[in-house]
Amino acid sequence: MRKIIFLFPFLFFSSIVFSQIAVGEWRMHFSYNSTTNVVVTPKKVYAIADNKLFSVDKKDFSIQTYSKLSGLNSNEVSLLAYDEISNLLIVVYTNSNIDIIDQKGGIYNIADLYRKNMTVSKKVNHIYFDQGLAYFSCDFGIMVLNLAKKEIANTYIIGDNATMSAVYAVNSDETYLYALTSESIKKAPKQGVNLLNFENWLVAMSLPDDSQLFRDMDVFNNKFYVAKNNENVYVYEEGQWLVFYANDAQLAISIQTIGNHFIINASNSLLCYTKDLTVEQLTDIVVSDSWYDDTEGVYWIASKTSALLRYKKGEGVLGRYKPSSPYLSTAQKMYYNNGRILVAPGKSWDDRYSIPGAVLLFEDEKWTEYTSENSGVLQYSYWFADVVSIAVDPVDKNKLYVSTWGEGVYVFENGVATQLFNGLNTEGALETAEPSNHNFYRIDGLVFDKNKNLWMVNSLASKGLKMKTYDGKWHSFNYPSLANKFLLRHLLLHSRGQKWIVSSTSSGRGIFVIDDNGTILDESDDRTRFYTSFTDRDGNVIVPSYFYSIAEDKDGTVWLGTDKGPLLMTNVSKVFDNTYTCTRVKIPRNDGTILADYLLDNEEIRAIAIDAANRKWIGTGNSGVYLLSANGRETIHHFTVDNSPLSSNKIESIVIQEETGEVFFSTQDGLISYRSDATVGKKSFEKVEVFPNPIRPDFQGLITVRGLVANTEVRIVDQSGLLVFSGVATGGSIVWDGMNFANHPVGSGVYYVFSVNADGTEHGSTKFMIIR
């Protein structure tokens, strides 16, 4: 058991209001749309939404979010339970880790199940409290937690012949423990027998039928109740099961006893029974889970579609509670444009993922979204889903072109949908994967060139490369190597005028390079090459099975992200030569030999982003995120779930806010950002500033000087003119830890920053205050 103490009021990095963070700090950008679980404690109401934890204060109704930044041991929460006797909140994560939070905010980590290697699922289905013990109903049996000692006391494997089999709920009376399995309700004496012996767990009663679909059990008025998936609730009376509640709609259903009330959550209604079976029914409301707070006579309802609700019979909804957050928290691609982060939350792979259609924008520390509910997009199609790429009009930053993995290319102007391009209004340029079916346009890779032409790739089409001129004319390009490719995913317009197209997978995988010789519409003089394999400078042949990502660095080198690691295409003017070889970065072993290993050899390189200092941010499929030096030989940072707030080591996309240096990561479990130390260099010293300013006693991060010309020499002196720091900017910024050359913290006072560019022709200065 590991204990961490934290105080909820100071968890500001993941709270409602977004604010800039200092260099080296993180923040979460999780969504909280679908609320699925709720528990009520004396002071707070806790809920799970989109597998993330948040709370509502019962006194002032303020909202607080929780994550690894808050001291939790994971970000992805699957189940909550609260014990009124011990005042302990149990948080179970999707990875089977467990935290216990006491009423003072102390966190106790119970990692036994998380660390246990098992051949069966470790999912926790239900938690029941009795006499200082918490009984975890798991897919393998019952795990018992001693709440006072905060440690695992026992594990009961109760399947026939000691086989691991699922237990869905536990309950008890004064004599017996009861366990709901897929076949029956078993019981065992609480005292006097060895509960570790499966033979002491006997069948107490069969279930209403042999469907093996009963997942909820509870006891109310000394009677057993069970709920069948998407069907009825049954009560056990006089030796037989009777239908207690007929679920005619056959929707999801669950049951629970809270104090003196028995609750049925029936998807579109809620029924609350008292001891005399008087029922209060709430209708026309979506219910995933609920809790009746009899101290206030209100219901707290986890509504899958309407956040967390506070509801009172006769008065209706008293409040709706949802943390401020992006509409969705995943992204296949992210973009930076004019101080904004733009997010395409859909996916393109084999078939449609049916991810709700949305364009997400993060600007001025606020998230906004264009959706089917607020943009009018449904006037052009009955369905808006699977947004996979975005391009910003080069003349009007509020005009966005948005492709989906189905309907075609939408145009949004100031958040309102104004047009949809598909095969019907592009003279057949856009091609659908299924003839006459206008929900199968596989369009990706939107990007504008310097002449304001909009380019894109069209998978499963006879002509895989498309272009729309700025005056609205559509063109298709007949490159046989791109015909009917299964997954054309990326289109890079290189600074030398080449087009690099990524065919990600299937038998047509590879990299297609085009040089149009400056005559866009004349294909006769084009040079092209389709790479399915690569030869490196050591003569090794690399044949990737997947191509995930592509980026051009500031030297013009193209970095390819494959399942074999990163491949570097240098001197791209020679890329059409038959003798062309790729480069792989070698990392010396430094073990006294001259041997070296290839950089991230055989790692899935799913995302690549280049920062202002030409450093490489690399997102992998299994190993988290790397920040590499400009030449790739030095690892500056390596962030994983074990040493950072990341909750997944699978990275889908990376984008950098160039003005602030904040790096956004789309992971398997949500959007997270980290404030790095590299920003875009300015052309002149017009606005040099220090962040934060003033530096107060409680500040523990790095002090940032920004607004610098790239590669500026920076000096910081105190009021007496004593030099306390010097260095060279990383891009347009530099960081300082507040220590002098003797490695001691500098004192309070006013400090002056002086900077000069590389050739001494530009100078800048500013000042800031430190308060100790």
Q: How buried is 157 (Cβ within 10 angstroms: 0-12 exposed, 13-18 middle, 19+ buried)? A: middle
Q: Say how far apart CA 635 and CA 632 lie, in whole Å.
A: 7
Q: Which two tokens stand for residue 289?
A: 């889970």
Report the DSSP pairing between strands 98-101 and 88-93.
antiparallel
Tell me the three-class secondary structure of 580-648, residue by residue: CCEECCEEECCCCCCCEEECCCCCCEEEEEECCCCCEEEEECCCCEEEECCCCCCEEEEECCCCCCCCC
Q: Which two tokens stand for residue 510?
A: 């590879």
pLDDT for 5 beyond 60: no
What average pLDDT score do residues 612-625 get?
97
Portion of the chain with pLDDT greater than 70, in percent: 98
Closest CA to 629 of 646, 611, 641, 644: 611
Stated length of the chain? 772
Q: Which two tokens stand for residue 729?
A: 């900017």
Confidence of residue 81 (pLDDT cuts 50, 70, 90): very high
Q: Say how far apart CA 158 and CA 13 lie, in whole Å.
A: 44
Report the b/e string of 700-737 with b at 16+ CB within 10 A. ebbbbbbbbbbebbbebebeeeeebbeeebbbbbbbbe
Bridge partners for 82 per DSSP: 89
Domains, the chain, ordered by start:
689-770 (2.60.40.1220)
Amino acid in the structure at residue 410:
Y
pLDDT for 530 beyond 70: yes
Q: Say how far apart CA 237 and CA 277 lie, in whole Å.
A: 15
Residues 640, 672 contacting (CB under 8 angstroms): no
Q: Which two tokens stand for residue 17?
A: 């209001």
- Residues 6+ positions from 98 with CB-CB distance below 8 Å: 90, 91, 92, 109, 110, 111, 113, 114, 124, 145
Q: Which two tokens stand for residue 476?
A: 């298709």
- The dihedral built from the CA positions of residue 218, 220, 226 and 232, taken in this order, carries a sign that is negative
Residues 366, 360 contacting (CB under 8 angstroms): no
Confidence of residue 13 (pLDDT cuts 50, 70, 90): very low
Portion of the chain with pLDDT greater than 90, in percent: 87
pLDDT, tens digit (0-9, with 9 covering 90-100), for 160-179: 999 999 999 999 999 999 99
652: left (phi over 0), alpha (psi -120 to 50) or beta: alpha
Query: For residues 364 and 13, which has the higher predicted lDDT (pLDDT)?
Result: 364
pLDDT, tens digit (0-9, with 9 covering 90-100), for 581-610: 999 999 998 888 888 999 999 999 999 999
- DSSP labels, 692-741: SSSB-TT--SBEEEESPBTT-EEEEE-TT--EEEEEE-BBTEEEE-SB-T
Q: How buried is 277 (Cβ within 10 angstroms: 0-12 exposed, 13-18 middle, 19+ buried)? A: exposed
- Residues 6+ positions from 411 with CB-CB distance below 8 Å: 399, 400, 401, 402, 417, 418, 419, 420, 421
Residues 505, 486 contacting (CB under 8 angstroms): yes
Residue 730 Cα to chain centre, angstroms: 28
Residue 2 pLDDT: 53
Amino acid in the structure at residue 759:
D
Residue written as token pair 């030099």 = 723
Its pTM stands at: 0.89
- Please work out, in degrees rounded to the nearest 5, the angle formed at the alpha carbon of residue 561 by the alpha carbons of 558 and 563: 150
pLDDT, tens digit (0-9, with 9 covering 90-100), for 285-344: 899 999 999 989 999 999 988 789 999 988 999 999 999 899 999 899 999 999 999 999
pLDDT, tens digit (0-9, with 9 covering 90-100), for 622-677: 999 999 999 999 999 999 999 999 989 999 999 999 999 999 999 988 999 999 99
Residue 352 pLDDT: 87
pLDDT for 9 beyond 60: no
Q: Where is average pLDDT lowest: 10-24, 257-271, 506-520, 724-738? A: 10-24
Residue 267 pLDDT: 86
Confidence of residue 20 (pLDDT cuts 50, 70, 90): confident
pLDDT, tens digit (0-9, with 9 covering 90-100), for 535-567: 999 999 999 999 999 999 999 999 999 999 999
Q: Which two tokens stand for residue 416?
A: 């309102």
Residue 3 pLDDT: 52
What average pLDDT score do residues 234-241 get?
96
- Residues 6+ positions from 74 with CB-CB distance below 8 Å: 68, 93, 94, 95, 97, 641, 647
> E-assigned strands of 470-521?
474-477, 488-493, 499-503, 510-515
Residues 182, 146 contacting (CB under 8 angstroms): no
Q: What are phi and psi of 328, to 5 degrees?
A: -135, 160
- Three-state DSSP at 424 gives coil
Residues 40, 56 contacting (CB under 8 angstroms): no
pLDDT for 7 beyond 50: no
